[in-house]
Amino acid sequence: MRFSALCVVGALSCASLVGALSAAPAKNANANAHSGAAWSYKGTNAPAKWGDLSPEYSACKKGVYQSPIDIKMENVFQANTASPIKFSYKGDVQNVVNNGHTIQVDFKAGSSITLDKTQYDLVQLHFHTPAEHKVAGKSFQMEAHLVHKAKNGQLLVIAILFNAGLEHPAIAEIQKVMPQKEGEKANLAKLDMSTLTKGLDSYIRLNGSLTTPPCTEGVIWIVNTMPLEASKAQVAAFTKVFGQNNRPLQSPNNRVIIETGD
């Protein structure tokens, strides 16, 4: 399934809009943001309270371009030229950790992408059930975040949306060793990343924030326009451990959103 986009250019060219998406590196950005003051997805430390839990989390309450959002296709600009992502993934895994909020796969150095002549190193991968982003009001069963960081500190997150369907091979490998208790780690030598990046010849690009405290803004988001499949059992396995770990939708606030690719 590929989402069709409407090009509403106005006074700006689509090429100049791509330049508008060159986010300033997030200050003190941490690719592993599941730390700091205690927070949760329910109870007294739920998302509505994140901004009050610590001064470091103020962006969760006062930020302008927060994530996730419902991507309304009538507000999406269609790029005239493709801006392909070059994948150089080795998939060598450092460990798989239960951080109390999600299952996180930490990667060894050597995996990266290149976009607009900038290299972003793959740091970690984690999951949210149900998905955090919506597209044209449509909800998805699960969302994987591939978190990258450039040498200048700029964060880039590739969001992979999943519909219910066939078992996904990469998720199956992760769930074979998935720690059930907070703080536990497990070993996984390698992960075939090509099964996660399938269909990223076209994608939606926008600026946003981390979807967990401290909700740092200035993050470049890449969202796949061709959702992948994961089995209901795979989604349920994550939900059994963490419950629903998705941040509620945030206001788009007229941010620039571009679809690029075939």
d(CA 144, CA 206): 17
Please state, in angstroms and rounded to a whole number, the distance separating the CA atoms of residues 168 and 234: 8
Specify the pairing of strand 118-128 against strand 134-135: unpaired
Instruction: For the chain, give the number of residues.
Output: 262
Instruction: Report percent pLDDT > 70 for the chain.
Output: 86
In this prediction, residues 100-105 reach a mean pLDDT of: 98
pLDDT exceeds cutoff 50 at 3: no
What does the pLDDT read at residue 80? 75
The answer to whether the pTM exceeds 0.95 is no
Strands 155-164 and 217-224: parallel
Give one DSSP letter per residue of 68-136, joined into a string: --EE-GGGEEEPSS--PPEEE---BEEEEEE-SSSEEEEE-TT-EEEETTEEEEEEEEEEESS-S-EET
d(C-alpha 259, C-alpha 206), whole Å: 9
Q: What is the mean pLDDT of residues 133-144?
A: 98
| Domains of the chain as residue ranges with CATH | 14-260 (3.10.200.10)
Tens digit of each residue's pLDDT (9 = 90 or more) over 61-70: 999 999 999 9
pLDDT digits (tens, 9 = 90+) for 88-102: 999 999 999 999 999
The DSSP line for 156-197 is EEEEEEEEE-SPPHHHHHHHHH---STT-EE---B--GGGTS
Q: Are 235 and 164 in contact (CB under 8 A)?
A: yes
Return the half-sphere exposure (C-beta side, CA atoms, 13 A cut-off) of residue 169: 9
* Whole-number pLDDT of residue 61: 98
Quick one: pLDDT at residue 231?
Answer: 99
Q: Summarize the confidence of residues 173-192 as an average pLDDT.
A: 97
pLDDT for 95 equals 98
- pLDDT, one tens digit per residue, over 4-40 is 333 333 334 444 444 555 555 554 455 665 567 899 9
Contact 137, 252 (CB under 8 A): no
- Which distant-in-sequence residues (6+ apart) come within 8 Å of 117 by Cβ? none
Q: Which residue has the higher pLDDT, 167 or 8?
A: 167
pLDDT tens profile 188-230: 999 999 999 998 989 999 999 999 999 999 999 999 989 999 9
CA distance 242 to 180: 9
Average pLDDT across the chain, whole number = 90
Q: Give the pLDDT score at 81.
A: 76
Quote the pLDDT of residue 4. Answer: 38
